[in-house]
Amino acid sequence: MAGTKAVITAGPTREAIDPVRFITNRSSGKQGYAVATALRDLGADVTLISGPVALPAPAGVTRVEVETAEQMLAATLQSAAGADLLVAAAAVADYRMTDVAAHKIKKHSDTLSLALQRNPDILATVRAAQPGLFMVGFAAETERLAEHARDKLARKHLNLIAANQVGAGLAFDVDTNALQVFWADGQQAIAQGSKQAVAQQLAELIAHHYLKATPAA
């Protein structure tokens, strides 16, 4: 993959509720960071767009730190503009507050409703800007993994999608994972293993499909 510019997104996003609270999810960034490291090891020039995580930047990788989905979108659009390949392992918040409270919300009543609005879809926005970019998405599913993953592959116009079963003790914030990778006319399983081992196999699969789709690369 020498000479290939790859952008990886990883980790959660964080959406403010008020000055001291936020909405987020259990993503640790471990899987995305391992993919960034594995693509670096294959010779790619890697930029890692990272939500807030407790991991050091992998050596030799350019890290861009962001907090919100909108910041991750802006950073990804900018980095992807000069890139060949995007792998979106981040767990992006689907919704953010319609209005972030200026002051800490007080507990005046027994229930509290928060008005949320949809965040932009990063993959869809990048695809619209760069129809020729080789794009790999992830799918985090609690049920009907293959059906939902294939739907996202088609709807988001991806080249590949790596689906993981999530739920109690699976994928999010643990050290192991397993993937089912789908493309238009095929699929391949990557068996349960460390996130590093899974990432190495995924990176090799991505490289194989990328080089096939980009003969001049």
Site residues for ligand PMT per CB under 6 A: 9, 11, 27-32, 69, 88-92, 94, 119, 121-123, 137-140, 152, 164, 166, 171-173, 195
The residue (of 4 and 28) whose beta carbon lies closer to ligand PMT is 28
Residue 67: half-sphere exposure toward Cβ, Cα within 13 Å: 6
Smallest distance from the beta carbon of 189 to ligand PMT, in angstroms?
15
Annotated catalytic, 159?
A: no
Rounded CA-CA distance 86/206 in Å is 10
The residue (of 36 and 139) whose beta carbon lies closer to ligand PMT is 139
Among the options 25, 119, 159, 164, which is catalytic?
A: 25
What Cα–Cα distance (Å) separates residue 133 from each residue in 19, 112, 171, 182, 210? 37, 43, 27, 18, 10
Amino acid at 164: N
**Element at 77 (helix H, strand E):** helix 69-80
The residue (of 42 and 77) whose beta carbon lies closer to ligand PMT is 77
Smallest distance from the beta carbon of 3 to ligand PMT, in angstroms?
25
Instruction: Return the active site residues.
Output: 25
